[in-house]
Amino acid sequence: MSRLFFGRLNKLNQHRSIYQKECYNLMPTTNQWETFFDNHAPRYMQNTFTRNTLAEVDFLLDVQQPAPGSDILDMGCGTGRHAIELAKRGYLVTGVDISRGMLAEADKAAREADVEVEWVQADATRFVAPRLYDAAICLCEGAFGLLGTDDDPVQHDRAILQNIYDALKPGAPFMLTTFNGIAKLRRLTQDDVEAGRFDPVTMVENSDQEWDLPEGKKLVHVKEHYYVPTELARLFEQVGFAVEHIWGGTAGNWGRRKIQLDEIEVMVVARKEK
């Protein structure tokens, strides 16, 4: 059973497994990632990058060292692969995601695993936490860097970080993995700039791409914000986080290690200042 425990809202929603947080979303959203993940959700766990969840959870617990039974926020939780594994290990987990399709898969998986996780449907840029958490994760581009068509790249990602910061208790740890901008820069060409597919000023890639997905080849409108580590650190610090480490962070290859220039993702290990 999934759990819902937002006081009065808990009672209102006690027969609903996914709490749809319209109360926090005052404006309707148009976000192509929401549509993409709604459609992709049933096949998401067939992606090879999802195969190392157990090792990833081992690693993040080793890094964050949350006390037993801590309250953990998983922003952009997707199908809940980390959230459910954390719940199996006795943590209280809230998973937030914009995609109802992804959350439906998460809820199904939590029931199958017989664990309780609180699923919240919300846009991470507008999420207002109802209480303070002991730790937070935002993994594998869980909202951060994934821009809706009309989103401003700076405001979008800053709002997500700010909402996570505001959701944490003083001194609480936060771990994020996002695209490695260095690798992207080594792949992108001047043709991409001239054709408007990549803007080196904003570090935003904006193009239609054919992706080879488990369900087959699909044309995907990609609008993504890339960061080099220095910029990531500055953004985190502007919001108030102390950045403890920036490591290589490609799914399936997490470790206390240097960034490989061509790897897909980097990891930020941070903490809300006391």
Residues that bind ligand SAM (CB under 6 A): 33, 37, 50, 76-78, 81-82, 97-99, 102, 123-125, 139-143, 146
Identity of the amino acid at 120 = V
**CB-nearer residue toward ligand SAM: 100 or 111:** 100
**CB-nearer residue toward ligand SAM: 76 or 249:** 76
The helix or strand, by DSSP H or E, that contains position 106, with its residue range, turns out to be: helix 100-113
3-state secondary structure of 193: helix
Cβ 83 to ligand SAM, closest distance in Å?
Answer: 8
| Alpha carbon distance 247, 259 (integer Å) | 5
Cβ 11 to ligand SAM, closest distance in Å?
Answer: 26
**CB-nearer residue toward ligand SAM: 38 or 242:** 38
172 backbone dihedrals φ, ψ, rounded to 5° = -75, 145
**CB-nearer residue toward ligand SAM: 57 or 182:** 57
3-state secondary structure of 40: helix
Cβ 189 to ligand SAM, closest distance in Å?
Answer: 25
Cβ 246 to ligand SAM, closest distance in Å?
Answer: 18
**CB-nearer residue toward ligand SAM: 100 or 242:** 100
In contact, 126 and 34? CB cutoff 8 Å: no
Cβ 171 to ligand SAM, closest distance in Å?
Answer: 24
| Alpha carbon distance 205, 222 (integer Å) | 7
Q: Name the nearest CA neighbour of 162 among 264, 88, 239, 230.
A: 239
Burial class (CB in 10 A: 0-12, 13-18, 19+), 33: buried
| Alpha carbon distance 146, 100 (integer Å) | 17
**CB-nearer residue toward ligand SAM: 8 or 128:** 128
Cβ 127 to ligand SAM, closest distance in Å?
Answer: 7
